[in-house]
Homo-oligomer: A and B are copies of this chain.
Amino acid sequence: MTEVEWGRLKSAEIGALAARNAVAVVPVGSIEQHGPHLPTQVDTLLAGEIGLRAARLAAATTPVVVTPTVWSGLAEHHMSLGGTLTLDLATFCAVLRCVCRSLARHGFRRILLLNGHGGNMAALTAFANEIGPELQLPVATATYWTLAKDAFAAILERQTTVRHACEAETSMLLALAPDLVDMAKAADAVGPTEVELAAVAGDAAHRYRSFKVRTRHGAIGDPRAATAEKGEKLLDAAADAVAKLIANERFWALPA
């Protein structure tokens, strides 16, 4: 199997990948509270795992490399529930800017910021709109569950997409690290426990809301339905969708 992990490669190997016009995948996660039954690394673990699985799939046709996962995301909304390490927006952009500039200096001409945390989504889009014209390179961003939207909807039973510490995330953790999941506590971790924004104003208006005022225990969704088998399917579906994006030559060839 081709090695795709930046951290496991030697410098010359990375240079060779750049010379072959490899897609550089930068997984971006978060370290934050994930309810009573899941550990804080969920978003970081999943972004990295899906990035690697996708890269291994894509590598058959497309040179690709996956950097270490940026585990420091935007999670102010989780701070009051503990366990969370958050950046501010300027710092989040600064870190990604430095990573992208480093990649560009080494000759990489295609960058995918692969996101695994809801709180990063808007900022990644805004950031991509800045770094793209600065580097004059295609810098793309996508969230794995949006790329795999239909497949996820088909696999999940009580949700249609990824929520937080939910059927989807709990399933994937059961597949990857069952010892870190406390299903006994999942029984009560069903949310939201409070009225949600969409319930009173639809989806079109956004307001900052702390997770604490949405859910007493930190979870949104229904983790009780989680299984490892479902998790494995979700991971594969996500990897498949990301791999298609990596290998989508027309996507990358579109002028910027």
A residues within 8 Å of B by Cβ?
6-12, 14-15, 31, 33-41, 44-45, 67-68, 70-72, 74, 76-77, 79, 81-91, 93-95, 97-99, 102-103, 105-106, 119, 121-133, 138-143, 146-147, 149, 177, 180, 182, 195, 197, 200-202, 204-210, 213, 218, 241, 245, 248, 250-251, 254-256
Contacts and interface: CB of A to CB of B under 8 A. Distances in A.
Contacts of A38: 10
A67 to B, nearest CB: 6
Contacts of A251: 197, 200-201, 205, 207
19 contacts: A6-B31, A6-B83, A7-B39, A7-B44, A8-B180, A10-B34, A10-B37, A10-B38, A11-B218, A67-B85, A72-B98, A82-B106, A83-B106, A88-B98, A126-B126, A128-B208, A142-B206, A146-B204, A149-B204
B147 A205 contact: yes
Given A40-B14, A83-B106, A200-B248, A208 B129 contact: yes
A31 to B, nearest CB: 6
A21 to B, nearest CB: 16
A14 B139 CA distance: 31
Contacts of A204: 142-143, 146-147, 149, 241
A18 to B, nearest CB: 8
